[in-house]
Amino acid sequence: MTSPAFFLQGKPALRPSPLRAPYHALALAIAAIWFDAPPVRAGDARHLMYASVDATADGGYGGIGWMMAPNGLDHSGPVFSAETGRSLTPENRAAAMAGWRVSTHKTIVTLLGGFEAATTLRPVASADVWWDNAGWMATGRVQATTDYASWRIAIGRKASERLPWIGPEVSSAGEESRFGAHVTAIRLPAGVEARASAGWSKRGAFGELSLWRRF
């Protein structure tokens, strides 16, 4: 089962800063994802490299991350993750977490806990659920620290196995609610997949692009 649910998303609301985009994070992400890793069958992949760029009318965030599951990404067992990014504030962010993944034929649940360093060092925890069956998918994710909580819920449908899922999504970061649409699991060269989403929040339009590669 393909599980593209875990990548950077739902970070705390960002404050505006003129003309300081996180291009360095995106460049590092693309270089890391496109590195020369041996091909693997879906069930054999143990590593996930991922990246995300989020843009609004007055802010943005870019980051990269890595997840490792010793038993395989599609199997139950321990899981570890590390990620880093930068907002337009500008503010750097880094997090390291460990937890457990429960995988069934149609559902993957990932629970993680650890620490996040931004302006201060603080505990962070997340829960992620991915389900797909017969061309339908649903995913939900919540992440919280002592300073903020964020979540995202999305459902989707695809007409054939070769096409991505398309559907609505709703999310919240801090006090900002977002409503939009997503296209998930867009297949790109070299085993890379992507999710693109766009919509509206109280601060105006937003757009997000996430990339990931399993190996």
10-residue mean pLDDT series, the chain (215 residues): 50 41 52 55 82 87 96 96 88 95 95 95 97 97 93 97 96 87 96 96 92 96
Q: What is the pLDDT of residue 2?
A: 47
**Identity at 39, one-letter amino acid code:** P
Task: Answer whether 154's CB lies under 8 Å from 130's CB.
Answer: no
CA 34-36-40 angle, to 5 degrees, is: 95
Q: Which of 84, 39, 87, 52 is nearest to 211 (CA)?
A: 52
Note the pLDDT of residue 14: 41
Q: What is the DSSP string of 139-191?
A: EEEEEEESS-EEEEEEEEE-SSTTSPEEEEEEEEETTEEEEEEEEEEEE-GGG
183 burial (CB, 10 Å; 0-12 / 13-18 / 19+) is: middle
Whether residue 90 has a cis bond before it, omega within 30° of 0: yes
b/e string for 110-145 if b means 16 or more Cβ within 10 A?
Answer: bbbebebebeeeeebbbbbbbbbeeeebbbbbbbeb
Q: Which two tokens stand for residue 9?
A: 């998303």
The pLDDT, as a whole number, for residue 176 is 82
Specify the pTM. 0.82
Domains detected in the chain: 23-214 (2.40.160.40)
Q: What is the pLDDT of residue 11?
A: 53
The confidence score (pLDDT) of residue 16 equals 37
Three-state secondary structure of 7-39: CCCCCCCCCCCCCCCCHHHHHHHHHHHCCCCCC
